[in-house]
Amino acid sequence: MHGRIPAGALVLLRTGWDRHWGNLLAYFGDSTPGDASKLHFPSFGDDAARLLVEKRQAAGLGVDTPSIDYGSSTDFAVHRILAARQGVGPENLTGIDRLPPTGALLIALPMKIEKGSGGPVRVAALVPRQR
């Protein structure tokens, strides 16, 4: 519908899950402290990740859920597939429903935190003007 995914693209998965932000139980699918085995939310599967990263040479996979791996994942295959290609995986994105299907330029701005995990960033999008 929008053409072939170009090499070097960041592919964003819009699930609409960001509407649950602020509601721990709805966003993560479970609220048991210290137990990630019951998490439930959508995201990329390993077959999709392989196609996008290995075949289409996407530079990254982003999503509006807590992880680029689906909630009940125990092997984190999507993270491993992406890391093997040194790709980026922004998670917890919001507002991607306001982006055009193609053509936006995303900028990841690092956040200074102390004693945190992961690589938190603020993501901004530059959108081409409609003519």
pLDDT at residue 62 above 90?
A: yes
Mean pLDDT computed over 103-127: 89
pTM of structure: 0.90
Q: What is the pLDDT of residue 77?
A: 97
Mean pLDDT computed over 86-115: 93
Show contacts of 18-22: CB within 8 Å, 24+ apart: 18/64, 18/65, 18/92, 18/93, 18/94, 18/95, 18/96, 21/92, 21/94
pLDDT at residue 33 above 90?
A: no
**Domains of the chain in sequence order:** 10-102 (3.50.30.50)
How crowded is residue 117: how many other Cβ atoms within 10 Å of its Cβ?
6
Tokens linked to 64 = 């509006």
Length of the chain: 131
